[in-house]
Structures are given as C-alpha cells and as structure tokens.
Amino acid sequence: MSSSPENTPQPRSKHLVRWFILGGLLLLLLGVGQKGWRLFQLSRNFQGHVETIQTIRNGESIDPSEIVRLSSDIRQDTVDLQYEVEPFLPITPYLSWLPRVGPLMPHAEELLAMANEGTYLANLLAPEFAPAFAILQDDRSITEKTPDLITILDQNKALLDQANPIFLQLLNRYERFQEDSAAVAALPDEVEKAMAVAEPFMPVIPHAFSTLQVLPELAGHSESKTYLIIAQNHDELRATGGFISGVGLLTIADGQLGEISFQDAYTVDDFTKPYGLPPQAIEQFMGVQLLVFRDANYWPNFPTSAAKMMELYTYGTGQSVDGLIALDQAFLKRMVASLEPIQVEGYDSPVTSANIDAFLQDAWETGDPNDENWFATRKSFLGPVANAMLRQLIETGDQIEPLPLANAIMESIYGGHLMVYTGNPTIDEPLTAIGLTKTLSPQPHQDFLMILNTNMGFNKANAVVDQEVSYDVQLNPDGSGIGKVVIGYNNSAAASSEPCQQQIFGYSSGENLYSTLINQCYWNYLRVLSPAATELMESSTHPQAAESLITEVGWSGGTMIDAEETPGFVTFSNFLSVPRGEQLTPYFHYQLPRVVQQIGDRYQYTLKIAKQPGIDPYPMRVSITIPPEFSLIESNIPGEVSNGNQISLILDVSKDHVIRITYLENRLN
C-alpha cells in the first residue's frame, strides 16, 4: 500500500527543528550563565565595598581619594547591577516563595531604585566632602578642626540644595518599604542594624541637608554670633518649659565655642527704665504689675516667648543677641549621662547621672542667707553644669561616643527640653522642621490638643505633681465633632491639714528651702489649646477664696476663652489649686469645627497632640468614635477597635504625636 504525501517522513525538517531547539536552549543557558557570572562578580565587588566601609566605620585611617574612588566604584557597580537584573524585575513579585529573600522580592524594583539614588548621592557629594575625612583624622582637637569643617559646609551649600530632592525621594521609598515588616526582617543583619540605629533620627533626617545649609551661619562662620542661654526649671512649669532661673551668653565664632557667662535671671532687669504691663493672667493670679524678663516665657508658641525674652534681655542689659537657646534639667541629665563624670568648678565630687538632682538643688540654694534678697547672690541654677559640660565637649570631644550623645540631643529636642530660635526666617525654617523652635502652626480641617501648665504658686510643686489626660472625640457625618478633655492631677506631697495658701518664700523659710518649695499646694494656670472656632459647651469650675490668694481677690472659677493669644487656636483657661496629697480632674467639653478631610471616597481625621516643653512624660488615652454609618479602615497608631466605629489608643506623651484614622461610608448592596 502506497503512502500518501502527507504521511511521507521528512527527516531533514525534523532534524532542523531539533537543532533549533537545542541551539536555543544552549544560547539560553549561555545567557543565564553569563548573567550569573556577572552577578557573581558584582556580588564579590559589593562584598569588597562593604569591607572598605567597615574599615571607615572602625575609624581606621583612610585617604580622602579612596572615599571618592569607593563612591565611584559603588555607583558603577550599582548601575551594572541594575542593567543585569532589570529584565527579571517583572517576575520578582511572583518570587515571594523563595527561602530567606522571598519577602524582599515584591520590593525588588523599589530596593534597586533606592540603591540607585543612594549611590548617585554618594558619588555626587563625595568629591567635595571627602576632605572632611582627612580633617577628622588629623591630630588636632575637635575645637581646632571645627572651622575647617564649617568652611567645607559653607562652600557646598548649593551642592546640598541640588542633592536634597533626590535625598527626599530616597527617604520616601524607605518609608514605604518600612511598612512591610516581613520584608524588613528579611534584610541582611548588617542592614537591619544600621536601620535600627537610624530609626530614632528619622523625624529629623528628611531635613538634614537644609539644616546643614544654615549651620555655617548659626556657627558664626562669616561673623561671630552671641546667643542667649535660658536655663528653665521645670519643677516650676511655665509655658515654654519652666521658670527662668538663670541666663547666660554664649559666643560662637567660626564654630569656636566660648565659655557661657551665667547670671541669675533676677539681675537682668533695669528698673530705672519703664516696663510694660504683664499678660492679664500673670497680673490677676500672681499680683505682678510689670512684665519682667523672668516672666517673659508666658506664651505657648516658643518663638513668641523667645522674641519677648530677647527683647527684654537687650532692654535690661543693653546687650544685643543673635538668638536664644532654652534648656532645662532633663536636657542636662541626658547630657550628663552621655558625658559623665563631669567635674564642676568649685565642687570636690564630679557630677554624674546619679547625683545631678542633688547637685542642681544645692546650686539653686547657695546664696547669702543674711541677704534679704538672697536670690540675687545665689549661683545660677543650671549654669555651673552647663559650663562644665561645654568645657568637657571642647576638651575631650574626640573621645566621646557620638551615638549616645546624639540620642541625648534628639530626645531633648523631641521632648522640648532643648529649643532654639534666632528670629531669622532663613535659619529658623529648617530648625522648625526638626522641632527645635516648637512653633505652633494650625492646619486646616485638623484637630489639635495642647495641655499647658503654668505654676503660679511661687514654688516648685511640679516636682511632685503627676499628670494624666484623656481625650474623647465623637465625629459627626459633616466632619465636625464633640471633644472632651479631662486632665488628672495628683499632688504626691505629704497631706497637710493646713489650707492652701499662695505665698512667696524667703531663704529664712528653712535650711532645706528647695524641699520646702516642692512640698506645697499646686497653683496652676491651666490652658487647653484647640482649633480655632472651637466652642465651649461645658467645663469644670474651680473657685478660689480671696484669703488663699496673694492678691486677696477671690476667683469665681469659671473657664476663660481667648481666641487671640495664640493665632490659629482658641485657648480655654482656668486657675486651680491641687492640695498636698490630693487629686483634681478639671475638664473641658467643647464643639469642634470641621476636623475631617475627605480624600476620594475616604475620610481622614487627624489629631496633633503637642507636648508642653519641659514637662515630664505623661500617659494619655484617646478615644475616637466615628458616625455609625461609617466603618474604620486604618489607623497610623495601633489601638483597640470596638463596634467597628470606635478606636482607643494609649500614648506616652514624651513628644508630639500625630494620630490619623481613615474611615469609609458603609455601602448597602
């Protein structure tokens, strides 16, 4: 039987097809093998770079030209890596099953972009900033090196400005990556450790380049600067942190720090000149007739108080200043812990974190007990320690561990224990961005809460008074709301049968005067700041008898409302007392304006909680209830959700907090 043409074998064609398939597989294997070899070589290169970087981190001597070469090599290897792996990026989201590195695969493109931007920045900045490594490695003291380092910064401000947008883009990618905890856990140990070290500094890192640009001017590069140092005692709380117990001048010329010359705050004013009236609350509840220097930190917005302090200092002394630095005991304690032991002139024993409280109280009490105005002869409260710390930084700066010191400074900035203001908008803008000026800025359609205490008892009772706060918000469908804030005060001083009495103590009150001033009733001018257009509905009342007040004028106890004291906010205030060994819970219940923003089909409620500078950390419970026809979607701070429309959060108010919750209108099928 003859076969048909269709069934006739065609061995030549089949052989050709086989050869094409085999040839294709061979080419594919060769291509993969070639890429694999290139990737292997690149991995070896990167391992070498890591070892070189480790050498730099260990403080080993390295030539600046090596820094430039290293950044160039890493940049080129990153570009090569991107070229080699780019064809595989479309499939990386499907490789999350891979062992160890699987969680990183969905982020491969983003991680590669971060590497690209990071190495570009390093390659851009290295040629100009590498000489700083040579300066840091020479044998001079840190004081002698500083002018040269400041000069490098000043010469490259334009370069930092060019690099800043790329740096911010890199940080945005980092923040998105951080949202995936599994991916973060899959990073190599060295990378994860580096990220953990950087975490405390993340709020200020985005503003690093802009801050570096103004640093030369702050440090007196072109002309010397004189800064007013304000020592605030947070045992007697005031709006910006505490009673002004000491004041000093610090001169900086080309990065060189001079010694701080401290004096008592009482000696600043020149009463041969006329002084203006104080704010109404100071006059009404303290009987003070003039606005003097030591009461000038009355206003909640630190730049407002700082400008007034600078003005009154110059008015009283004739000395003009270029800015103001405010600090308190908490700042000193953190600094002492990172620098200890510190030898203070005139004292046999060094100051440590274990004895600094006793030392500061002793420094406060020292004066002439026979002098009716003993406070004018005493030593400044915080000055001796501040001077000793500055001297130690200058003399032994090269031996100090930088990370603990940096952490101490950052914690102090976040808590309002260290603040800076110059009055120069160009300088203050980046300082505001990193939290140093504690500027209060209203935001449209956002909630705001600040609890502000001003001790008007002429004592140090804040040392034994604890505070806790609860804030309940019920949101309406139109974006407005009802807020209720309750402040709980606990005065842990020993209970006494003596009634509370406002009074001014003198040195003759006893040998342990500071202890006497601590264990007193707490006389507090309480202010609560809320968004503008907030309307008071109800509040607690705290009447005070005339015989208990230094003015001998009684107080009715009702809440006062001020829409002008702090622009953009309304202030609810009251004057109250917390007896020794007792508790008090004042409250304010109010109608909030619109505090919700609609973004597409979602609704976002934002609450900023501003911590009063200087106050010790305190607990706060926040409860937010959305309308029943809506459902919670997410919260930037984890909390306990009830009934799908209420979230409760517990905060440690050691710094400012921003809470954001997102919710969605329920849809009926």
pLDDT at 65 over 60: yes
- Name the strand (E) or helix (H) holding 386: helix 383-396
Answer whether 263's CB lies under 8 Å from 319's CB: no
Answer whether 82's CB lies under 8 Å from 42's CB: no
Q: Which two tokens stand for residue 197?
A: 């070290």
Spacing of C-alpha 449 from chain mean position = 17
Q: What is the pLDDT of residue 60?
A: 60
pLDDT band at 368; cut points 50, 70, 90: low
pLDDT, the chain, mean: 86
Model confidence pLDDT, tens digit, residues 275-322: 999 999 999 999 999 999 999 999 999 999 999 999 999 999 999 999
pLDDT band at 155; cut points 50, 70, 90: very high
Give the HSE-up count for residue 314: Cα atoms under 13 Å, Cβ half-sphere.
Answer: 12
Q: What is the pTM of this model?
A: 0.88
Q: What is the chain's length?
A: 669
Q: What is the pLDDT of residue 79?
A: 84
Q: What is the pLDDT of residue 381?
A: 58
User: Which of the pair, 624 or 81, is modelled with greater confidence?
Assistant: 624
Burial group, residue 78, by CB count within 10 angstroms (0-12, 13-18, 19+): buried
Mean local confidence (pLDDT), 407-430 = 95
Stretch among 376-380, 470-474, 556-560 having the lowest mean pLDDT: 376-380
Stretch among 345-359, 543-557, 569-583 having the lowest mean pLDDT: 345-359
pLDDT at 108 over 90: no
Measured CA to CA, the distance from residue 61 to residue 58 in angstroms comes to 9
Model confidence pLDDT, tens digit, residues 509-552: 555 788 899 999 999 999 999 999 999 999 999 999 999 999 99
Q: What is the pLDDT of residue 603?
A: 97
Q: What is the pLDDT of residue 326?
A: 97
pLDDT at 25 over 60: no
pLDDT band at 177; cut points 50, 70, 90: confident
Answer whether 56's CB lies under 8 Å from 50's CB: no
pLDDT at 371 over 60: no
Spacing of C-alpha 337 from chain mean position = 19
Stretch among 145-149, 426-430, 485-489, 612-616 having the lowest mean pLDDT: 145-149
Stretch among 83-97, 156-170, 402-416 having the lowest mean pLDDT: 83-97
Q: What is the pLDDT of residue 34?
A: 44
Q: Which residues, in sequence order, are bridge partners of residue 444? A: none
- Name the strand (E) or helix (H) holding 245: strand 243-253
Q: What is the pLDDT of residue 361?
A: 78
Query: Among residues 417, 398, 400, which one has the least CA distance to residue 409?
Result: 417
pLDDT band at 61; cut points 50, 70, 90: low
Mean local confidence (pLDDT), 56-74 = 75
pLDDT at 574 over 80: yes
Q: What is the pLDDT of residue 477?
A: 96
Q: Residue 301 has what DSSP assignment?
A: S
Between the ranges 16-20, 365-369, 372-376, 633-637, where is the mean pLDDT highest?
A: 633-637
pLDDT at 217 over 60: yes
Q: What is the pLDDT of residue 185?
A: 85
Q: Domains plus CATH for the chain?
A: 48-202 (no CATH), 225-433 (3.40.630), 447-665 (2.60.40)
Measured CA to CA, the distance from residue 264 to residue 371 in angstroms comes to 15
Measured CA to CA, the distance from residue 173 to residue 447 in angstroms comes to 28
Q: What is the pLDDT of residue 667?
A: 76
Residue-wise DSSP of 634-662: EESS--EEETTTEEEEEEEESS-EEEEEE
